Amino acid sequence: MSDLESFREQTRAWLEENCPQSMRWAPRKRGNPALADDLVWGGKKQTYPNADAKVWLERMAAKGWTAPTWPREYGGGGLDKAQAKILSQEMSAVRAKPPLIGFGLTMIGPLLVANGSEEQKLRFLPEICRGEIRWCQGYSEPGSGSDLASLQTRAVVDGDDYVLNGQKVWTSYADQSDWMFCLIRTDPDVPKHQGITFILLDMQSPGVSVQAIKLISGASPFCETFLDDVRVPRDQVVGAVNDGWTMAKALLGHERTMISDAFSESSERNQLVELARTYIGEDGDGKISDQVVRDKIAQLTMNKVCFDLTVGRTKEAAKIGQQPGPESSIFKYYATELNKDRHSMMVSVLGPQALGWEGEGFEQDELDVTRSWLRSRGNSIEGGTSEVQLNIIAKRVLGLPE
């Protein structure tokens, strides 16, 4: 038996023994929606309505499998790419839910592994792996969205600290986060892409205030963050001072890949078909009775399979050291459109039952579909607007003229 075969057997046995049954995905059924409470973001404000979610996190973190490829000395699993792929496959086989999600694992963590100081790695990465710290992103500002490099939040040196003043907006889950990774202007007298520094900010620092922004879905994942004379130690700069744009581009690649992954690997993979069978019905052969609906679902399915295969090829290339590049903008853009199309189709399948907001006459999962559809409209804005992604694709991928 090869080493990889042995690793697979051991992994499969461990997962079967240690993954609680309530932390395994079950087919979604009408009136029995998947519990968002089971998804753990971590951090000091994390609660556990399902106690098994905490048990699952602790067991996986103890093995380093919340971040399986990170070095062991930083709390990771120290697995190579082949072993990490086996772990992913075996978790899928037992339908295991992720023990931990969030920007720590998918965005700031990978950046620190590659670019952080040794002190920063030892300080932050183990806490991320154990789910003890939750992160948000401080990039966009009221006047600096698509043109991010025009940001105006300033940092002035005062002894061993920077003093920060300004405002960030669309800071997802800032009200639930312990730390923020942010871009701050440290030199206003150079071209706008220069003079920006990448800084780590404790959200409990005096002078930090957060206000939620309510969306049309009724949820408030986005926030405004205000910085008033906030003091940040200078050793919390990642990379070189005034070279934050380099860090920002690297992290945006991780973010856009994360967004495309999230839409691709959604737990709603089979929900559309199940909804169609429930609300439209089946013919005598067990097929969805409406041929037009069947055709539309088939087209969405083919588009998704093609997208997954394309993303998979890029992930294979990453195994030989290639970093996310401008092609990640293609993934983010297409994943956004695919996700929006899927949610629109689900609302269409529900018919009149998609018109509910609250009150009698509607199942909770019907209301969830409607609100998820409304939430999906923001996909084309977050993580870089679709228009910006198309510009990047045109200029950096296709090489089209200005």
33: confidence class by pLDDT, cuts 50, 70, 90? very low
- Average the pLDDT over each of 33-47, 102-116, 226-240, 369-383 and give the range with the smallest value: 33-47
Provide the pLDDT confidence category of residue 34 given band limits of 50, 70 and 90: very low
| Burial class of residue 43 (count of CB atoms within 10 Å of its CB; 0-12, 13-18, 19+) | buried
The stretches of 99-229 forming alpha helices (DSSP H) are 103, 109-115, 118-129
- Asked whether residue 92 carries a pLDDT value surpassing 90, the answer given is no
Average pLDDT rounded to a whole number, residues 359-365: 87
pLDDT at site 159: 95
User: According to the model, what pLDDT value does residue 11 have?
Assistant: 96
To the question of pTM greater than 0.85 for the whole model, the response is no
Architecture of domain 246-397: Up-down Bundle (1.20)
Instruction: Note whether 242 and 190 are within 8 A (CB).
Output: yes
What pLDDT, on a 0 to 100 scale, did the predictor assign at position 268?
52
Instruction: Look at residue 256 and tell me whether its pLDDT is greater than 60.
Output: no
CA 36 – CA 58 distance, rounded (Å): 19
- Please, which residues have CB within 8 angstroms of residue 64's CB and are 6 or more apart in sequence? 70, 72, 75, 76, 77, 78, 129
pLDDT score for 144: 79
CA distances (Å), 52 to each of 32, 57, 62, 97, in order?
19, 9, 15, 11
Alpha helices by DSSP H, listed for 64-201, are 81-93, 103, 109-115, 118-129
Residue with tokens 């992160």: 135
pLDDT at 250: 78
pLDDT digits (tens, 9 = 90+) for 297-332: 999 989 888 888 877 777 676 655 566 566 666 888
- Stretch 16-39: mean pLDDT, rounded? 68
* Mutual angle of helices 364-376 and 327-350, in 10-degree steps: 140
Q: Nearest-CA neighbor of 261 among 305, 298, 308?
A: 308
Task: Catalogue the active-site residues.
Answer: 255
pLDDT for position 253 = 63
Distance between CA atoms of residues 336 and 258, nearest Å: 12
Most confident of the ranges 124-128, 210-214, 278-282: 124-128
pLDDT score of 28 more than 50: no
Distances (CA, A) of 243 to 230, 338, 362, 381: 21, 35, 53, 26
What confidence tens digit (pLDDT) does each residue in 132-154 have? 999 999 999 998 766 788 899 99
For residues 345-371, average pLDDT: 89
Q: 158-181, pLDDT tens digit by residue? A: 999 999 999 999 899 999 999 999
The yes-or-no verdict on residue 83 having pLDDT over 50 is yes
For the chain, first and last CA: distance in Å? 57
The confidence band for 266, taking pLDDT boundaries of 50, 70 and 90, is very low
CB atoms inside a 10 Å sphere around CB 351: 10
| Contact of 117 with 62, CB cutoff 8 Å | no
Asked whether residue 383 carries a pLDDT value surpassing 60, the answer given is yes
Q: What CA–CA distance (Å, rounded) separates 330 from 313?
A: 14
pLDDT tens-place string over residues 198-221: 999 999 999 999 999 988 888 788
- pLDDT at site 304: 87
In this prediction, residue 73 has a pLDDT band, given cuts at 50, 70 and 90, of very high
Q: Percentage of residues in the chain with pLDDT exceeding 90?
A: 53
Residues 224-244: b if buried by 16+ CB within 10 A, e if exposed: bbbbeebebeeebbbbebbbb
Domain regions of the chain by residue span: 3-129, 135-242, 246-397
The CATH classification number of 3-129 equals 1.10.540.10
CATH number of 135-242: 2.40.110.10
The alpha carbon torsion through 67, 270, 383, 341 (nearest 10 deg) reads 170
- Cβ-in-10-Å burial (0-12, 13-18, 19+) of 255 comes to buried
